[in-house]
Structure 1
């Protein structure tokens, strides 16, 4: 009879010691270390993973802020997340301490798989990001942004024509407006139709990227990097992320290369790509890198502007008193409002601010990462913690904004600051947090403000926005809390009855569009010549 092999005692002792060490480490895994901001109770190994919502996360994050305070922590396995639901905390950490809070956490599915490592909004902080950031600052600062007003004016008027002809396609008209405005500023070409293939590909990419980034697969792959090595069929969102990257890369690179060719031939219009062409040569940027720079600008300019305007229209259905008051202010000049009316329409400016507060499109911000250990109000903020800018939580704080789900522009009465000035001013008076914070503040904020001002003022000048009626003749009130999307959101599509306010105003809109049609070719809809007052950029390296 065979005897079992003899196992030396020191081997057994080493094995037992190893088990003890593993058990000791696992004992603390998932626990909230001493000194962190407070937060919901944790479970061993999981921390708060089991409590993370699979949908409407912004609602739960607001509830936790009510329970644990404006700065709280979540433990997600081995990772620490600090949630900032405080305007003061965001000012202190993301703005004033931007040197260590401007990084992004690793986002495998969002950046590596779905973006080829190039998407600017989630790019890690470093030399490449700084070069691109400086470049975009030079080509989107307030003085340069003003030269694109002819593009904004023209696209807005064609949008109004769309609302006259097919008001049932409101959402499509808003998306075409914001997309075509962005393509003009970035590439120098217009998108006259909302069923354009490139527009559809853009919003497929934006929506798909947001869904992939917010998926459970993405969260697990970031928390447990070993999962990134699994076959794609075991990670449900990977194939979707790859397809999003394929569609987006083809779209952005195609647009960039076409604009590059037109500019070299001398047939291109003034656009951001002109500056990028100069920068590519001095900075040694690849076509793939530049393609995602312009793609990131296209995404930001097209998605958030149209979503905010859609939210505003919904608010006008529900809060008819605001619509009436805004129209009374707009009606003083019996003509289409222009950007020159900005100083004289304070209530409309308040509507812009309230729209961004009431319908925050980047609902939980984009995560930051702290690059070294820090402290705040006596709490520890460990290196590599993910920092969440809880936009919804701040906007819906009843202490900051009484009756937060009421659309009330008067809460900004007397506030004459621009969106940019407000973002850099006193935190308790900051109007919104949609555009990010610190060094990650969206640099298209000047253009967005003008687009929203023109869009909101002219829609209310030309149209009455009424509730649609059901089969029994009863008004249909949309659910203002039913939001869809991923990282960016917008109201779930709703029914609406859009009516011109008068035959005279319809005639003014038609004439304005007719004047615009004289500026573009009838077959392609592209500009016949460079708009008056516009010049090519002249970006120079530092």
Structure 2
């Protein structure tokens, strides 16, 4: 949709003329209805309705607006008794079908029980999250699982603990740059595990590579959506009206190539010199045959590169800081638990996790309150299907609305409130929705959770997070708005970060000497 908002009017007219021509050859409307949704315009469909801001809220609202109506038949009165929210909605984007799943029930039925036909992706990049469903994806997924299943991730905890301690040091020195410190911590963990590379806090070349590649993939997601909706654009020259973004994509492609190849080559050179440290890339390179095939070498490059491009821990930790600014009561309760269990003479470590149920509940609530990928990565339906009497055509883009699943009022009363105590009830489980769905669920979720937990527990033990105040002493409360990319970050906000006590400050300093 962003492509059309930036195009000149005359290019849009030309594009729509082509679409209108192709529209004449669409197949006949099926006997069963499509799911409910906004009524579109001729040819354009719902192109003007598709949201650019907070799409997760728009999709959820569609479910309420276009739900099923039921009459009071018992008393024979012909009027609407209630409106039942629809857990699946439909939109038509220039002749292409978009299906949104707004409930755990719909997600389970389609993405889990029918995963063989709902696990495809739109064609975008080498990243494992976007690779089409097939042999390559299965191979990459298997290799990724070998390094990141729950037992395997235990070996990464010392590095995660070290990064959490470094985070405390950085927050102590320059708390105003907390957002940079959170991103650095994430990069420190992932680049170390993926490549055995120790990054620098400022202007690190490998971090720059990764950030440039992430920007390129964000841009590619727009192009990928456009190509999928309007496949004929794939074959048009860049100078054709409306196809100029192909030229921009060609400029961005080398950034992604650099991210795949340069850190990988660094590890190869270190192995050849006998100075490589253990890492996922080193392990994969060592296991390659002397003359690997192109596909084998691509696998060994793509898996570690995907780790950094797929990072989401920084976004979740920014949400944690925002939540603590807005909900000081939850912060105080978590700190009280840490003081009672861990004491004030040391910092928490992973051995304390089972003894800190409220802290763990708070981590879960951070992931529920605003998931890092509210609408996840779209799936593609590969064959015609039927769900609850609705027709779902092959080729549809199917979006799992993680936000809707995690804000289901029947499961999470008062879903907009930040209430960690809801997860102290053993019957309340956190759905995996924040990490994707079905066979395409994020394979790095176990490491992401443990990295989040130790970072949050450490920050709570050492610091107090509060709103900044103006010259009159009035707290400046953040608006709490979020970006709408593949990974959703809080919009920039200021906060006050201070050590909880002199003893806490001394613990941070002393922990520097304890690192291995």
The answer to whether the superposition gives a TM-score over 0.5 is yes
Does the 8 A contact of 1:211 with 1:485 survive in 2? Answer: no
Partner of 1:510: 509
User: Residue 439 in 1 paired to residue 433 in 2?
Assistant: no
Matches within 5 A, 1:322-337: 322-332=330-340, 333-334=342-343, 335-337=346-348
Measured against aligned partners, the alpha-carbon deviations of 1:368-412 in whole angstroms (never above 9, x if no partner) come to 112222222222222222111111222233333222221111121
Of 224, 230, 237, 2:230 maps to: 224
RMSD value over aligned CA atoms? 2.4
Q: What runs of 5+ residues in structure 1 fail to find an aligned partner? A: 1-21, 417-427, 520-542
Partner of 1:311: 319
Partner of 2:33: 35
Q: After TM superposition, where is structure 1 displaced by more than 6 Å over at least 4 residues in a row?
A: 22-25, 27-33
Change (3 A) 1:306 1:414: same
Distance between the aligned counterparts of 1:32 and 1:484, measured in 2?
A: 37
Q: What runs of 5+ residues in structure 2 fail to find an aligned partner? A: 1-19, 67-85
Of 297, 306, 310, 1:296 maps to: 306
Distance between the aligned counterparts of 2:23 and 2:199, measured in 1?
A: 58
Distance between the aligned counterparts of 2:467 and 2:260, measured in 1?
A: 38
Does the 8 A contact of 2:423 with 2:429 survive in 1? Answer: no
Shift of 1:329: 0.7
Partner of 2:363: 352
Partner of 2:129: 121
Distance between the aligned counterparts of 2:485 and 2:357, measured in 1?
A: 33
Partner of 2:471: 471
Distance between the aligned counterparts of 1:25 and 1:494, measured in 2?
A: 46
SS of the residue corresponding to residue 469 of structure 2 reads: coil
Worse-superposed segment, 287-296 or 156-165: 287-296
Distance between the aligned counterparts of 1:319 and 1:30, measured in 2?
A: 54
Distance between the aligned counterparts of 2:390 and 2:163, measured in 1?
A: 50
- Provide TM-score, normalisation by structure 2: 0.85
Select the structure of larger CA radius of gyration: 1
Change (3 A) 1:155 1:227: same
Partner of 1:271: 279
Distance between the aligned counterparts of 1:30 and 1:85, measured in 2?
A: 27
Partner of 2:69: none
Does the 8 A contact of 1:362 with 1:391 survive in 2? Answer: yes
Matched residues, number: 471
Measured against aligned partners, the alpha-carbon deviations of 1:465-491 in whole angstroms (never above 9, x if no partner) come to 0101123331111111x1125111100
Shift of 1:211: 4.2
Measured against aligned partners, the alpha-carbon deviations of 1:13-67 in whole angstroms (never above 9, x if no partner) come to xxxxxxxxx9996397897974322111122212222211233322211211222
SS of the residue corresponding to residue 232 of structure 1 reads: coil
Change (3 A) 1:53 1:145: same
- Provide TM-score, normalisation by structure 1: 0.82
User: Residue 177 in 1 paired to residue 153 in 2?
Assistant: no
Distance between the aligned counterparts of 1:244 and 1:395, measured in 2?
A: 35
Does the 8 A contact of 2:110 with 2:118 survive in 1? Answer: yes
Does the 8 A contact of 1:30 with 1:78 survive in 2? Answer: no
Matches within 5 A, 1:373-384: 373-384=384-395
Change (3 A) 1:148 1:189: same
Does the 8 A contact of 2:209 with 2:258 survive in 1? Answer: no
Change (3 A) 1:227 1:341: same
Does the 8 A contact of 1:83 with 1:389 survive in 2? Answer: yes
